[in-house]
Structure 1
């Protein structure tokens, strides 16, 4: 397995990364939003609330 950051061979201690540095680079990308997971939720809070109410009012 190769490191997803630098492509060097991964080490057991930092798997799937090759080093602490690459693990920290990956963590920083998650924390600053570079790896944001796309959402299909409505952007508008009111729209989200009304969509939730609609789902809750449906018969089960």
Structure 2
């Protein structure tokens, strides 16, 4: 079964597959447009921050590791 999704920027229909390095976007251009919208604070997370949760070093390390695994373009080359 082929899953088709709409690009969040231009709404073009794309096939959700591993080979599409820009998913859920259709292209690098749409990906950068979305990143620019976040940088300009045009997008906001609507859920209020949770103040009751105390983050410790172990939790922060786990979050960082998870982020780096999903965003390999932030990893420095060796």
TM-score (norm 2): 0.45
**What is the aligned partner in structure 1 of residue 9 from structure 2?**
5
| Separation in 1, partners of 2:24, 2:43 | 17
5+ residue gaps in structure 2? 53-78
Compared CA separation, residues 38 and 21, structure 1 to 2 (3 A): same
Between Structure 1 and Structure 2, how many residues are aligned?
43
Larger strand proportion, structure 1 or 2?
2
What RMSD over aligned residues (CA atoms) do the two structures have, in Å?
A: 2.4
Matched, 1:32 2:36: no
TM-score (norm 1): 0.56
Larger helix proportion, structure 1 or 2?
1
5+ residue gaps in structure 1? 42-51, 56-60
SS at match of 1:10: strand
**Structure 1 runs, 4 residues or longer, greater than 6 Å off:** none
Deviation at 1:2, TM superposition (A): 1.2
